[in-house]
A and B are shown apart, each in its own frame.
Chain A
């Protein structure tokens, strides 16, 4: 019984960290510019497919494919920001939703064209396959790896946001964009860098997700992962790192628990809790606005 519970918590945490890595970029950029980016999942998918191609045909080690996915997706997203997104910061929310749904549709079609509609798998090293011994029980090696990477990303983020000059500029911009601007912070430049970093993290999350989800399909940007990412962002409170971490853990744990105890009702329960939480606090658990 205790072992079962441990397994459940362990799996929930692994999923929670994966969700956190994928969602944190969206949370910060939405908190900063109030821009609804439904194409965030498309950047995650790009990272996933890059990792698949690199580890497959090109024989790049999996661990090396992760930073490549991070940087490549970050650079691509900065291009999109410069050409398209920046025109829409002051546009009505409906335009932002439509623009990014349109981009997601194009990403789905583009991925189908480039990688095919079937489920694509990633090649992970042998030490990440199977089980590992931990605290007297067997746990999935890949899930342990997810927790390690997720915790490292979370620590790096907290350190970066709290202790660096750039982090202070990001926090100032999220708190009050106009005040930050009048203090001489180049808000547009801060935003572009943050957007690229956040999308890069989505790409990293996408690359990490492939093996966990048992493969990647082109419908990913419009699938349930997008809903889960949006839940983490809105329930946690836009712009709140701690809120996103908390929401990701709660979501990961409830997903694991619901799938274990009532697999039929798992998704239903999660959507229901999201609606109730947002009615209670429309700005998110730790959101301020």
Chain B
């Protein structure tokens, strides 16, 4: 067998579907039957998971930290809202257009941020996020400013399914789009391009030494991550029929970072697990008292950083590995 064949076989092995993944998606698809009255929350969890997935591509796989990722979520959300308000009410094309706009903005931001490291990178991503948020605030005639953009009324999906008040159409639509985004990112991270990103994450100097042209790849991954973040933002606009300034604020950038780390970065499903725990936790705690929710969220974050730096999925995986090795040791 040739070396090329070996390599192809290695990539095929890496990208094989595991049983856990298939079970997970069956569970997500079955959720509306188990919780028929919590569909709005379920849709929002999927939107947040898609947003966290986009950050996973950037931070979890390429190792590029961002404190302003909500900028692209917000750009997608506002683009979808503004298009609809101005008469482009067909949902699917509107969604793709919004994602494309966010992707272009992400590419432009990538031109800047790939040159930076460390604290300067943190500050510039945060600064770009704040700039977009300020822009949305100032351009009141277009974005509605602090009142938010309302009156986002879509045509029926595929010309047949109205967005009903129980959120059934919205959930199905969100599920299909989120699944599509996961498929796309799954394909990306298992490609040679994705492998190069992970190489950069593990050791940027080494990648430069072996002559890997990383700058172009990092610009591309910035554009892709922004595009998927914009997709998530547009999805939220279309399913809630409203856009507000907190879609684009610093809190949302911090929130998505927390969600990803909570679930575990660089594992594809960390965003989904994190979004589930975070959103359900917030739903339960906020009913009692929203301030306590922030306290426990902060405490959880400190504990995770101290004791479980690879998140729920990473912690679970190492626990599973330990159990397995102990069992193997007992058999031997």
Query: Cα distance A98–B300 when bound, in Å?
Result: 10
Q: How far is the CB of B199 from chain A (nearest CB, A)?
A: 17
Interchain CB contact under 8 A, A268 and B295: no
Interchain CB contact under 8 A, A99 and B305: yes
Residues from chain B with a CB closer than 8 A to the CB of A109 are 291-295, 298
Chain A residues 7 to 42 lying within 8 A of chain B, measured CB to CB, are 30, 34, 36
In this complex, how many residues of chain A approach chain B with their Cβ under 8 Å: the count is 44
Q: Mask for A105-149, Cβ within 8 A of B = 1, else 0? A: 111111011000100000000000000000000000000000000
Q: How far is the CB of B325 from chain A (nearest CB, A)?
A: 27
One of B67, B130, B300, B304 near A97 (C-beta < 8 A):
B67
Q: Assess whether B127 is interfacial by the CB under 8 Å rule.
A: yes
Q: Assess whether B277 is interfacial by the CB under 8 Å rule.
A: no
Q: How far is the CB of B114 from chain A (nearest CB, A)?
A: 12
Query: Cα distance A274–B300 when bound, in Å?
Result: 32
Interchain CB contact under 8 A, B295 and A106: yes
Interchain CB contact under 8 A, B302 and A106: yes
- 12 pairs from A and B in contact (CB 8 Å cutoff): A34-B119, A93-B65, A95-B309, A98-B305, A101-B301, A103-B298, A106-B298, A109-B291, A234-B123, A267-B130, A275-B112, A279-B116
Residues from chain A with a CB closer than 8 A to the CB of B292 are 109
Interchain CB contact under 8 A, B112 and A279: yes
Query: Cα distance A91–B305 when bound, in Å?
Result: 10
Interchain CB contact under 8 A, B291 and A278: no
Residues from chain A with a CB closer than 8 A to the CB of B124 are 275, 278-279
Interchain CB contact under 8 A, A282 and B120: yes
Q: Assess whether A53 is interfacial by the CB under 8 Å rule.
A: no
One of B67, B122, B127, B295 near A274 (C-beta < 8 A):
B127
Having A102-B302, A275-B131, one finds 10 other A-B pairs with CB under 8 Å, namely A30-B119, A34-B119, A98-B304, A101-B254, A109-B293, A110-B295, A113-B295, A274-B127, A275-B124, A282-B115
Q: How far is the CB of A41 from chain B (nearest CB, A)?
A: 12
Query: Cα distance A264–B301 when bound, in Å?
Result: 36
Residues from chain A with a CB closer than 8 A to the CB of B128 are 275
One of B122, B250, B301 near A98 (C-beta < 8 A):
B301
Residues from chain B with a CB closer than 8 A to the CB of A34 are 118-119
Residues from chain B with a CB closer than 8 A to the CB of A108 are 291, 294, 298
Given contacts A36-B119, A95-B305, A275-B131, contact A105 B294 (CB under 8 A): yes
Interchain CB contact under 8 A, B300 and A267: no
Q: Assess whether B138 is interfacial by the CB under 8 Å rule.
A: yes
Q: Mask for B104-148, Cβ within 8 A of A = 1, else 0? A: 000000001001111110111011101100110010000000000
Q: How far is the CB of A287 from chain B (nearest CB, A)?
A: 9
- Interface residues of A, Cβ cutoff 8 Å to B: 30, 34, 36, 84, 87-88, 91, 93-95, 97-99, 101-110, 112-113, 117, 222, 227, 230-231, 234, 238, 264-265, 267-268, 271-272, 274-275, 278-279, 282-283
One of B122, B126, B127, B304 near A93 (C-beta < 8 A):
B122
Residues from chain B with a CB closer than 8 A to the CB of A99 are 301-302, 305-306
Q: How far is the CB of A280 from chain B (nearest CB, A)?
A: 11
One of A94, A95, A234 near B119 (C-beta < 8 A):
A234
Query: Cα distance A88–B293 when bound, in Å?
Result: 25
Q: Assess whether B258 is interfacial by the CB under 8 Å rule.
A: yes
Q: How far is the CB of B84 from chain A (nearest CB, A)?
A: 26
One of A87, A106, A112, A234 near B120 (C-beta < 8 A):
A234
Query: Cα distance A101–B122 when bound, in Å?
Result: 13
Q: Assess whether B202 is interfacial by the CB under 8 Å rule.
A: no
Query: Cα distance A95–B291 when bound, in Å?
Result: 24
Q: How far is the CB of A245 from chain B (nearest CB, A)?
A: 19
Given contacts A93-B118, A265-B138, A283-B120, contact A103 B302 (CB under 8 A): yes
Residues from chain B with a CB closer than 8 A to the CB of A102 are 297-302, 305
Query: Cα distance A95–B130 when bound, in Å?
Result: 22
Interchain CB contact under 8 A, B131 and A268: yes
Q: Mask for B49-65, Cβ within 8 A of A = 1, else 0? A: 00000000001000001
Residues from chain B with a CB closer than 8 A to the CB of A231 are 123
Query: Cα distance A238–B120 when bound, in Å?
Result: 11
- Write the chain B residue with the least CB distance to A99: B305
Residues from chain B with a CB closer than 8 A to the CB of A265 are 138
Residues from chain B with a CB closer than 8 A to the CB of A88 are 305
Interchain CB contact under 8 A, A222 and B251: yes
